[in-house]
A and B are shown apart, each in its own frame.
Chain A
Amino acid sequence: MYVELHARSAFSFLEGASLPERLMARCAELQMPAMALLDRNGLYGAPRFHITAEKAGTRAHIGAEIAVTAAGQKVGPPEWVPHRVPSEPVRFPLLVESAIGYQNLCRLITRYKLREETKAEGAATLTDIQEHAEGLICLTGGEEGPLASALLRGGFDEGRSEVQRLVNLFGHRNVYVELQRHCDRTEEHRNQAAVRIASSLKLPLLATNGVNYATAYEREVMDVLTSIRHHCPLDAAGQLLSRNAERHLRLPHEMQQLFRDLPGAISNTTELSARLIYKMSDLGYRFPNYSVPDGGTKQAFLEKRVEEGLRQRYLPKRDPQLYEKAQRQARRELALIGQLELAGYFLIVWDIVQFCGREGILVQGRGSAANSVVCYALGITAIDPVGMELLFERFLTAERGEWPDIDLDLPSGDRRERVIQHVYQRYGELGAAMTANVITYRGKSAAREAGKSLGFDAETLDRLTKLVGAWEWKGPTDTLDASFRTAGFDTEHRRIAKYLEICERMQDIPRHLGQHSGGMVICAGQLNAVVPLERASMPGRTVIQWDKEDCADMRIIKVDLLGLGMMAVLEECLDLVPRHYKEPLDLGQLPHNDAQVYRTLQNADTVGMFQIESRAQMSALPRNRPVCFYDLVVQVAIIRPGPIVGKMMNPYMKRRQGKEAVSYAHPLLEPVLKRTLGVPLFQEQLIRMSMIVANFSGDEAEQLRRAMGMRRSQARMRELEVKLRQGMTQNGIHSDAQEQIIQSIQSFALYGFPESHAASFALIAYASAYLKCHYLAAFTAAMLNNQPMGFYSPSTLVKDAQLHGLRVKPIDVQRSDWLCTLETERDSGPTRFALRLGLLYARGLRREVGEALVQARNNRAFESIQDLTLRVPELRKKDLTMLAKIGALNWLGENIHRRDALWQVEYAGRPTGPLLSQMPEQDQASPLARMTVDERLVADFQGTGVTVGPHPMAYHRAALSRMGIVCSSHLRNLENGRETRIAGCVIARQRPGTAKGFVFLSLEDETGISNAIVTPAVYEQYRRVVTYGKFLLVEGKLQNQENVISVKADVVRPLEISEIDVRSHDFH
């Protein structure tokens, strides 16, 4: 019997070609009882390796190859070869024997990784090794190991003393002399020396195969990865590539045959495997203890906070029944929390929320946490789960054996960073870290890297990667092979054929480790004993070596601190509204039945509103006609791939409009589905349905949801389905109704949306709608200040605000701040506000320069362009030219137009010495003519991306009308089915995965937005125009049904009206 004890996976980043799961699966296929994974400088792949082993019934030994600085350099290619390979320290292959060993290994890796100031491989010192050697077994390694390096350096004697050093570090019992046989003469010479050294030091021999991939076939991928690693194409890689394809997992009897002269080396593998008792299920992870200030228990402290919170949340509602119901629910939840000992977890999240409150940072929990009244009472979430009858079991059940998941939405940018830094400070550098995000090779990256490796030139690569289908929808012709043929490549040619094959095989191979957008892991004691930590590319951040899914699998709890642009907008409004409108604004107390808001929603006038502004949402809003908050919850949830693919949207809409009777598969389901008119839309409904019709417990119901949500758990799903049917039979549900229920559960289990999540989002959506309706200037300013976000470009936001009566003023160096600001209009009547564009919209102007300009102006207004250049020396000539072009300097003198400013700027920005720089020009009169309207528009879009003047289409309206083009606001007056021509600048293009190749275009003119639908056939005909055109003319039949208006395109033509560089949001 043989156990492979030295294997690298693809998590050795470009030094292994198979995923850990694949390696372990192959190990099981070869009937090997165990296997060890030793990735380079980390335990990146260990969780997956461990989980796969558990499933396969094999044992996963954990370890890592640790780079050590003082042990020499890794053996490289011969000196005469042309490559300059950077020298790398040798790596000690270390295997974990016990839990202490695991902790030591994690600490060791963390120690040297965090010693680096930035993200880097790093290397341990011998002292580090010495301090963390307990519980670890050291092998002498293959060509990357210390013995090979020592033998090359100084022959047998040096090799022997190196091994002796390992013995001194790890102890005589814990060093194995490793032998690998890859049919290579040089290696065999080393082996001969190693055998003699082992014999002289009385150390055991250990056969391994230094595995880099699961099967010999994967050697090709390995070679490509090697060439990528060394930035050198395969044709030139020479001896950097592997000599042969022998580094794969071998059958035990093959290994026995290979080491027939040294049987002890084989038998030692099983013996050592037996010694490695550590299993990763024993991670020793604990969530931090929340220290209760008054010395009581955490549970009591939590209960007290919840009680206070309930009073605060419910008493103002003046509904004693609701309050009592909430108290009952809270008692039930607290009992479960007590039983699961989760009080500390809730308190820690509460602590973060408290911090945000103290710092004035807006925070709101999302996801399933909104099902919990405890979370609501603690201020973690803003949705009343009792009032909304949300299902707690979706959040937490006793049997699930899994931590609850709380996600917090924070304003994106600096404020979120402050919260993250607070968590770091609170729990220490070794107590908290971000979860990783494993970046893997995907279509484009694989195509690019493999292409480089196979020697395609840069231009070819650019074109090829562009050819890799960019749209979301993948039509039957959107394959790599088809793209190649289109580009004129012969896919039969070996190199091309191999390229295609390699691109496919590289998919999902890890490329590097990134940082998750917001997942933070917190640990009691030291997190670095649970998982290695390393530096992130971002300063001040550390990441653990596992991603979000791995953490969940390993039962490590994380809190998601997610950045949400709209939260930043809301937060900014909280400042702008009281400051300018002199009205208090409390987002928690917004009137939830505001008629203006619902009227706006019903008219789909939702540009800029959170989650309900997309084209699809806009086309659904007039059909849904929301009249209360719950309608908005449904609205947020219904335009999702789930309900659309599950064909739930149309039945719901029909019932909503009274065109279809509300019916239920069984009367028992009525209470569950009543709110959604008999159509299941939410995950909570699935859970409730199974609880009601089949008497499932909350946990079983949650398991059913999960099993159905994962295609992989088919066995578990069948099991639960049987139980579901049994339960339904017991409840006397007829078999037809049973089928119908199961079908409806199955059809949306894959894509269903949690009601609590939808409610949390709907709350933000409502707040954004309310602010837009009542405080348009403040809302638009905040939206413009927090770009990029949402569905539309700033230009569309500005045009939409103008259509709603807001005056938007251009950038003016005499008035603009860095951010967009509000200005009070001085005309008679009620106070009106105008929006002043901020300097941040001047393209290319750096923030520090903009702020320096504002500071100089705050001291004293600028007198002239020369005054500006002298007082703000940070302004480069390029900045001045750009400011002049966009008209921002027009107020630096009397009757200055943009060209005057450009003429002066060119003089002021000329390279000159200090003596002449202050000398004004004798004759400042500019000989240049004013910009024409079109020139101004071009300059506005080039320089700011927006124009505050009329829409470009407005200047051509007369001509467009002569061409029979209807403006968007008139479309609603035309009858359905009429041949229509529309035109506008493209502000969004979509080819959603659910739309079977249809393309949706949003065209903007001076009166609003019109929509066009392009069928796949028409798209093929006008592919180029549809994909790249900036101003388009669309001809086709008008579809005007239930206030949902669009034109089904028959012809799409470019409209040559301006050279404006309008930028559309294309969703590929």
Chain B
Amino acid sequence: MAHPARHLLRAKDLIDARYAEDLTVADLAAVAGLSPAHFSREFRRTFGESPHRYLLTRRLERAAALLRNTDGSVTDICFAVGHTSLGSFTTTFTRVYGMSPTAYRASFPPARRLIRVPDCVARVYGRPQNRTFREAAVG
């Protein structure tokens, strides 16, 4: 009999793996084996934030990584990480990182790409934790 949190971890792992897809609360609740309403409450209790917020901050973290480390356009990156609206992506990114995606990219020198940081470390430590993050405003 697995620990209850172990089932919720499956949902968190699913977000980390498939953040670019149109994941619904129902999808996440299903892998955790819980009803959607129960799932969101338990996820928040276990990990300290809602599954929705975890998904959106994962997308922002991945978008920031792509801005730092690729030459892809802001539009391409926006859609690549699962956002459906360039406008809301830019607004949210700017609020969380304190500058526009373009300015964020320009603030990192190309040599930054040569730093040898494992992908798993970047994902865990790079996820934004901005207090002013307002998830409801994101499309």
A and B interact physically: no
| Chain A contacts to B: CB under 8 angstroms | none
| Chain B contacts to A: CB under 8 angstroms | none
